[in-house]
Chain A
Amino acid sequence: MRLIETKGLSVRLGGTEVLHDVNFFLERGEIVTIVGPNGSGKSTLLRAMIGAVRLSAGSIHRAPDLRIGYVPQKLHIDPTLPMTVTRFLGLPQRHKDTDLRAALEQAGLPDLRDRQMADLSGGQFQRVQLARALLERPDLLILDEATQGLDQPGSAAFYRRIEEVRRDLNCAVLMVSHELHVVMSASDRVICLNGHICCEGHPEIVAQAEEYRALFGSGTQGALALYRHEHTHLHDHPQSHKAAE
């Protein structure tokens, strides 16, 4: 069953075309990861999926009553806005106290209910954000670089948690990540994005694909190349990155 499907999706932001003719879909129960260099439109695509971005062309079809849980890359809470963890978890819908306690426990957090969001550590903040999204019992969970700021064990635990969530809720998971090696093993499908979909498929197949290698190089060095990537398709062999240093 297709939860969400885009057809010929294009987005222009401030005169430049950020996404061009993107066609893809998500089915219940699959974990799909979007990889791509900085500025390749990953976040914009996610924001288009939740309906926050106006399309310049194409369409998005959502399954009726589709529930989306969204964890943004950065959530800035204005210091003038007092916000306890309990209150944060109760947006947009309030939940029973027992549900809140259970949600925090499942997130591997102590009882932080009365703490201010502003006083949480980076890792706690992200896990509370995930807990909030899960309290809505989403059909589709969308994570935008949710492990940013977490250390390696922290992000490994985060991805294990995502697998559990998929199993428990039978939801689809769509995420953007920079941590290629982790992502590759945790995903059913990988989409390589650079303004348009360069290639997609099973992680091993994508990792071997010409287009993917052009963007990221190969092996562990590829993961490094991601951060130094130049936004074009005209790439030399990955070794040239190394040579240039």
Chain B
Amino acid sequence: MMLDDFLIRAALAGLGVALAAAPLGSFVVWRRMAYFGDATAHAAILGVAVALAVSTSVFVGALAMSLIMATTVSTLSGRGFAMDTMLGVLAHSALAFGLVAVSFLSGVRIDLMAYLFGDILAVSRGDLLVIWSGAALVIGLLIWRWQALLTATLSPDLAYASGIDPRREQLVLTLSLAVVVAVAIKVVGVLLIAAMLIVPAAAARPLSATPERMAVIAALIACASTLGGLRAAFHLDTPTGPTIVCVAALIFAATTFGAMLLRRRQDAPAS
């Protein structure tokens, strides 16, 4: 069977995360929620610790804790706190508490590195099912709410005037973010999930004239990074999750500098 090959399973897991994370990441970029993604992802490590302590599924623990964090941040953001400071505090303290909590689990042998940086080569068939279900849920939500999400992102007031409640759309994004974090832990680990959200979207920006094109191109870039990263990691014997993010970052550098050079050439007087 095809799925017997761990590399095939790894590729499918990575593609599932890439397809959901990139379009969601576009919203994270447009709405300037980068730190929001970090806080949610870092909270997941605390969820992992709690799940292991009460011996339940790591996915459930991470999802629950990410949801709590995402909802908290989402609620606070409407109340006029200095958001960058607040998010910085929440993101890093969630990570610190998570790491401390994990250290209490001395009886259990856990590979902390696997949760921090992912362990894509150890993805099981069950993991694949969870990842693709989560990805399908997020992609479905985004497509279903697309017009309303985009209007609310453009301007909350324009949304209100058209009978769209921007707070409800924010909730859709919050929920999607928690799901993506929970399914992405296995693939890139909590420290680099935010990168999978933001880097492909940022790389797609110079190539895009419309929001839809940006989301699709971001997804393609994320998929290419996943496959390229897997291959590079295999040949170079490097950790897979970070290698995937490195490939995405190189693509970002290429599109951004390419666009800058192109603009400079266009602006230069014809001689």
Contact = CB atoms under 8 A, between A and B. Distances in A.
Given A84-B209, A84-B210, A72 B30 contact: no
Interface stretch (B144-152, B178-186, B230-238): B144-152
Interface residues of A, number: 27
A92 B147 contact: yes
B210 A51 contact: no
A234 interface: no
Nearest to A81: B30
A87 B213 CA distance: 11
B151 A87 contact: no
A37 interface: no
A99 interface: no
Nearest to B210: A87
Interface string B131-159: 00000000000000001101101111111
Contact of A82 (B32, B153, B210): B210
B156 to A, nearest CB: 7
A70 interface: yes
A136 B161 CA distance: 11
Contact of A92 (B29, B164, B210): B164
A192 interface: no
- Output the residue of A14, A50, A114 with the most chain B CB within 10 A: A50
A84 B212 CA distance: 11
Contacts of B31: 78
B148 A92 contact: yes
A52 interface: yes
A173 interface: no
Contacts of A83: 154, 210-211
A136 to B, nearest CB: 7
B160 A80 contact: no
A116 B211 CA distance: 12
B211 A82 contact: yes
B153 to A, nearest CB: 7
B42 interface: no
Nearest to A136: B162
Interface string B89-112: 000000000000000000000000
B203 to A, nearest CB: 12
B205 interface: yes
A78 B30 contact: yes
B161 A81 contact: no
A50 B210 contact: no
B11 interface: no
B56 interface: no
B214 interface: yes
Interface of A: 14, 47, 50-52, 68-70, 72, 75, 77-78, 80-84, 87-88, 91-94, 114, 116, 136, 142
Interface of B: 29-32, 80, 147-148, 150-151, 153-164, 202, 205, 208-214
